[in-house]
Chains A and B, each alone.
Chain A
Amino acid sequence: MPELERHSFDVLVIGAGGAGLRAAIEAREHGMRTAVLCKSLFGKAHTVMAEGGIAAAMGNVNSNDSWQVHFRDTMRGGKFLNNWRMAELHAKEAPDRVWELETYGALFDRTKDGRISQRNFGGHEYPRLAHVGDRTGLELIRSLQQKVVSLQQDDYAETGDYESRLKVFQEFTVTDLVLDDGKVAGAFGYWRESGRFVLFEAPAVVLATGGIGKSFKVTSNSWEYTGDGHALALRAGASLINMEFVQFHPTGMVWPPSVKGILVTESVRGDGGVLRNSDGKRFMFDYIPEVFKDKYADNEAEADRWYADPGNNRRPPELLPRDEVARAINSEVKAGRGSEHGGVFLDVSTRLPAEEIMRRLPSMHHQFKELADVDITAQPMEVGPTCHYVMGGVQVDPDTGASSVPGLFAAGEVSGGMHGSNRLGGNSLSDLLVFGRRAGAGASDYVGGLSARPVCSDEAVAEAERTAVAPFSGSDAAGENPYTLHMELQQAMNDLVGIIRRAEEMDQAVKRLEELKRRAATLVVEGHRQFNPGWHLALDLRNMLVVSECVARAALLRTESRGGHTRDDFPGMDADWRRKLLVCTLTGSSVEVVEEPQLPIRSDLLALFEQSELQKYLTADELEG
């Protein structure tokens, strides 16, 4: 293969969002020669879409906040299915990661005494989200990007080469990991621009590829979210957990059709926005679940007092965790009380003065004005649930981000466990930084401890290349169009494994996925390898299909409702299921899902909760033990 471009690094980071960049910074600071590979341009990753903020118990606005309270909120939000060690590390380290961003040059909104301001968000007991208006994700990505550049400037000063220790390969897609005797040896992929193949030889890979939303029809996720990291991990022999838990954000735009699914930040509700149905009723009071009754107001007067006096009033139910709000909106629309375009109304115009809305929610104002011709300072928004986040991902060691495959690490949305069955808003950006840093360190330590570097064999590379060019070699007669197949996949996932699920439909989904998988084998793309979106989609489909199968099969097995997994046929939460994880692995082209016991929560962490609360989640023998 004379045309194959080759590079050699110590640590490869796949993905340049918050987790990937933080991992890369850490690996570089550990002295590793580090490369970041990303599908888009540097600085465009999906993290820019995060709006509300980054959760960290700094206690700047309410000094009662602490890591223990944040830990409790996270476990409650995830309905106690979370990996408790991850939730613990996350709550403890998030403040340091936020403060560290300030040393990179980030400029958060301030409190009166000059510290980082923090705002209220669903499921968080105290104002906890550090923010920059409603463009916090942009601030995070830009700060990390500028830190990368600053490290490159240091390297330039020392070596005369900006890229001597840390290099970004942008608009590059990884199609396969290369293994040597079960250990990571490198990664194979193509330049999106030229279609030329590249082999990266490296003993450690950090997956930071984000989520899987593009398998669903209505989603807040961009084209990049095709489950690449999830699929790469599966094919390398690692396991995924919690894949049945997919978060539908309660508030996506519903009109016009071309923007359906685009996110409307939860800050709208955190700052006073309320949800109403077509009768003008604030319906969320009818949807407060038993487990949250003592924390949420059951009347408008108390809910409205809470904004000014949170100490003596319960929170408005609009700020329930996302899974609860999404289901409530779904029920209202189904009951015929929806808006004209099949959503409900989210109104901040009657709750805050126009100039306050412009100050706190500038990008929401801009987005609705430009895309829907709606002025949110004067009119309500129409919103409905949109596929937003996958709680499931690569099963990792909490402290190092290591998967079961030597040399393979994962951080951020592509990893699983941290958020249990449902992620709280604001916990994603902090997750990226806490575990991005840990995975970067974990990968560096792993590389430092190796006595010999694994080798990428010619056969493995040739195999990866054959797979990548396969869509060009199909026979036209029976060939499938990747765009058509993608649309069918999205429709199937939306209709059959969506926000409300039942056994017959998921059975049907599994069959439909089998059929799509068969048809995908005959995908045909036209043209050549140079910047060919049809070819790119054909390769991404391979990942979307296997990841969708994990979601559907795991969802079918879990016969209860919990967090981001709601079953019409099993509406209750079952304490026995809390003790079980569903673990997905791949053999050949078939996905296997098996039950695995969940590690019991460490006793000092369990002691942070009232016994009465634990009774709602744990089994009788767990409570005794």
Chain B
Amino acid sequence: MGYQGHFRVWRGSDEGGGLEDFTVEVNEGEVVLDVIHRLQATQTPDLAVRWNCKAGKCGSCSAEINGKPRLLCMTRMSVFAEDETVTVTPMRTFPVIRDLVTDVSYNYKKAREIPAFKPPAGVAPGEYRMQQVDVERSQEFRKCIECFLCNNTCHVIRDHEENKESFAGPRFLMRVAELEMHPLDEADRVQEAQSQHGLGLCNITKCCTEVCPEHIKITDNALIPMKERVADRRYDPIVWLGNKLFRNKS
């Protein structure tokens, strides 16, 4: 059942590094993370990898396998041929700390920049009433396990370090959409989505949707509807006139 698999794993730090070759046992039913753990236990005790639940629920073990952004714990070895070399590298968009572990603090910084849920005034805890069909839109986005693979794959920041300052990435633009679609949230984040969080930089290539391990339709259900809301607000002449005439009221 078991076989000797060929692995190439990126090893190094922020000062540089490279791919190292390993031959390692692979058994039936295993995932890539199992093999990385075997390397730790038998050949490279100081190989750094981030992981936690090992069931695709916590989003810790994000990396790139043969160039594709994936969770190490949800990538079965059976998808590779036995003689295929499996190359494991850290996420490319974030600075490497060591080996497969990257500095994902960009994401935590962006999370803080999105204004939080604003509870409805005058509605006491326990009195919230919402219909299932209305909560489902935001619930889809709340399935997000924050693996940050979408932000990692998004070319707006993957290929353009300079955009990081002004772009929240698909994960946090989706957070804006989630709050905007929350039936009881009272804040308005539509203008800021464009002006503060960089929604305009997204040109809907759907790369984020493709890599989402939770199969959230980030582009279709979060980003495009947000773009439509921004467009309605900006270019609808009646809304424009209303804003001009009544802006002192708001």
Give A contacts to B, CB under 8 Å: 40-44, 46, 48-49, 58, 95-96, 99-100, 102-105, 107-110, 113-115, 117, 132-133, 135, 137-139, 142, 146-147, 149-150, 152-153, 156, 162, 193, 222-224, 255-259, 262-263, 363, 366-367, 370-372, 483, 525-528, 530-534
Pair B56/A370 contact, Cβ less than 8 Å: yes
Answer whether residue B235 sits at the interface, using C-beta atoms and an 8 A cutoff: no
CB distance from B247 to the nearest CB of A (A): 23
- From the candidates A96, A117, A526, name the one contacting B45 in the complex (CB within 8 A): A526
Residue in B closest to A51 when the chains form the complex, CB atoms: B57
- From the candidates A40, A156, A531, name the one contacting B60 in the complex (CB within 8 A): A40
Which residues of B118-134 have CB atoms within 8 Å of chain A's CB atoms?
119, 125-126, 128-132
Contact mask for chain B residues 136-158; partner A; CB cutoff 8 A; 1 contact, 0 none: 00110011011000000000000
Residue in A closest to B55 when the chains form the complex, CB atoms: A262
Please, which residues of chain B bring their CB within 8 A of the CB of A150? 116-117
Pair B53/A48 contact, Cβ less than 8 Å: yes
Interface with A: B29-37, B82-90, B189-197, B200-208, which one?
B29-37
Please, which residues of chain A bring their CB within 8 A of the CB of B31? 258-259, 371
Pair B117/A104 contact, Cβ less than 8 Å: yes
Pair A110/B131 contact, Cβ less than 8 Å: yes
Pair A222/B52 contact, Cβ less than 8 Å: yes
- From the candidates B30, B101, B125, name the one contacting A258 in the complex (CB within 8 A): B30
Please, which residues of chain B bring their CB within 8 A of the CB of A107? 130, 135, 138-139, 142, 182
Answer whether residue B104 sits at the interface, using C-beta atoms and an 8 A cutoff: yes
Answer whether residue B66 sits at the interface, using C-beta atoms and an 8 A cutoff: no
Pair B108/A42 contact, Cβ less than 8 Å: yes
The CA of A105 and the CA of B116, in the complex, are separated in Å by 8
Pairs across A and B, CB under 8 Å, 9 listed? A48-B58, A146-B117, A153-B116, A222-B52, A257-B30, A262-B54, A363-B57, A533-B47, A533-B49
- From the candidates B45, B98, B132, name the one contacting A109 in the complex (CB within 8 A): B132
Instruction: Report how many A-B pairs have Cβ atoms within 8 Å.
Output: 159
Residue in B closest to A39 when the chains form the complex, CB atoms: B52
Answer whether residue B224 sits at the interface, using C-beta atoms and an 8 A cutoff: no
Pair A105/B185 contact, Cβ less than 8 Å: yes
CB distance from B177 to the nearest CB of A (A): 13
CB distance from B58 to the nearest CB of A (A): 4
Pair B46/A534 contact, Cβ less than 8 Å: yes
Answer whether residue B111 sits at the interface, using C-beta atoms and an 8 A cutoff: yes
A114-B130, A258-B29, A525-B45 are known contacts. Are A49 and B117 too (CB-CB below 8 A)?
no
Pair B125/A103 contact, Cβ less than 8 Å: yes
A49-B57, A256-B29, A531-B46 are known contacts. Are A40 and B146 too (CB-CB below 8 A)?
no
- Please give me the 5 A-B residue pairs with the lowest Cβ-Cβ distance, nearest first: A256-B29, A105-B117, A150-B116, A114-B129, A99-B125
CB distance from B46 to the nearest CB of A (A): 4
Please, which residues of chain A bring their CB within 8 A of the CB of B99? 531
The CA of A531 and the CA of B74, in the complex, are separated in Å by 23
A262-B54, A531-B101 are known contacts. Are A99 and B27 too (CB-CB below 8 A)?
no
Which of A153, A363, A533 has the largest count of B CB atoms less than 10 A from its CB? A533
The CA of A133 and the CA of B28, in the complex, are separated in Å by 31
Residue in B closest to A43 when the chains form the complex, CB atoms: B146
Please, which residues of chain A bring their CB within 8 A of the CB of B119? 103, 105
Pair A49/B53 contact, Cβ less than 8 Å: yes
Please, which residues of chain B bring their CB within 8 A of the CB of A263? 55
Pair B146/A193 contact, Cβ less than 8 Å: no
Pair A110/B130 contact, Cβ less than 8 Å: yes
The CA of A530 and the CA of B185, in the complex, are separated in Å by 44
Answer whether residue B67 sits at the interface, using C-beta atoms and an 8 A cutoff: no
Which of A41, A363, A366, A527 has the largest count of B CB atoms less than 10 A from its CB? A41
A115-B129, A371-B31 are known contacts. Are A533 and B46 too (CB-CB below 8 A)?
yes
Pair B145/A533 contact, Cβ less than 8 Å: no
The CA of A103 and the CA of B118, in the complex, are separated in Å by 8
Pair A48/B132 contact, Cβ less than 8 Å: no
The CA of A43 and the CA of B54, in the complex, are separated in Å by 15
Pair B142/A139 contact, Cβ less than 8 Å: yes
Pair A223/B132 contact, Cβ less than 8 Å: no
Pair A526/B46 contact, Cβ less than 8 Å: yes
Residue in A closest to B104 when the chains form the complex, CB atoms: A41
Pair A533/B40 contact, Cβ less than 8 Å: yes
Residue in B closest to A147 when the chains form the complex, CB atoms: B116
Answer whether residue B68 sits at the interface, using C-beta atoms and an 8 A cutoff: no
Which of A48, A152, A193, A526 has the largest count of B CB atoms less than 10 A from its CB? A48
Pair B30/A256 contact, Cβ less than 8 Å: yes
Please, which residues of chain A bring their CB within 8 A of the CB of B10? none
Pair A152/B54 contact, Cβ less than 8 Å: no
User: A104-B117, A533-B48 provided; 19 other pairs, C-beta below 8 A?
Assistant: A41-B104, A44-B60, A48-B53, A107-B139, A110-B130, A110-B135, A142-B142, A150-B116, A150-B117, A222-B52, A256-B29, A256-B30, A258-B34, A259-B54, A363-B57, A371-B56, A483-B45, A533-B40, A534-B46
